[in-house]
Each structure stands twice: as structure tokens, then as C-alpha cells.
Amino acid sequence: MKYDNSPLLVPHESSEDCIVGGYKIPSGTMLLVNQWTIHYNSNIWADPERFDPERFEGLEGTRDGFKFMPFGSGRRSCPGEGLAMWLIGLTLGLLVQCFEWERVSEKMIDMTEGFRLNMPKAEPLVAKCKPRL
């Protein structure tokens, strides 16, 4: 797995001297948070590279000690987080309700990430769908 192409959160600036992870951070220092590294940290998540959506059960609507931050955190978090979460649920529900889905082959789905800022799948997901009656 490559770790050199990871999405960063919006830059922050420390307003006062502080210590983060044992490092002294002087006031005025620009800080970049590597969100991808947090989400794939084996000290936080059991088997972080395995696809396991159930690991996020119980985290809905709560801050979890900065373990999962797809929308950032604090004053500079994404203002569209509530809308995005609502639309994701609505869209997924409509896709499941309105279509029958099939795999194109029996080959296992490759969950490897590609090399771009938005981290697309390395191999595109190909599926057949037909409208439900």
C-alpha cells in the first residue's frame, strides 16, 4: 500500500505554543492534518486496510476522539456535512430500492485505492443494474 498520496484537511495555524504527539509546536505554525493516515492507523482501528463498514456503527452524530473525520473537525469543518450525510443515505436507499444489482464476474472486487487526491478505486467497479418493477 502506498502512503505518499494522501488527502489533507484544510490547513490550520496554532494560536499558541503547544505540544502535539510529543512535538513542541510554536505559535503561528501552519499545521496540516493527514486524514488518510488517521483513518488507516492500526493503533486506532483493528485491521484498517480491510473493508469493514461495521467498524463505524455507533459513531453516527458523535465526535469519536478524532478517529474518523471525513468532513474535518472544529470551526473549519465542512459546512455541508449534515446535507452530505442526508443525501448519501437517500441516494443509497434509492439505488437499492429502485434497481436490481449484479456483479459482472465472480472475481473478487479489488478495493485498492488509486493515485489521485480523491483516492479513486485503482480498478473501477463494474456492475449490471436493471430497474425494479
Instruction: Please give the sequence-ordered ranges of beta strands (E in DSSP) within 1-133, or none if there are none.
Output: 12-13, 18-20, 23-25, 30-31, 99-103, 127-131
Q: What is the CA radius of gyration of the chain?
A: 19
78 marked among binding-site residues: yes
User: How far apart are alpha carbons 23 and 11 in whole angstroms?
Assistant: 18
Which residues does the annotation place in the binding site? Answer: 78
Binding-site sequence positions for heme:
78
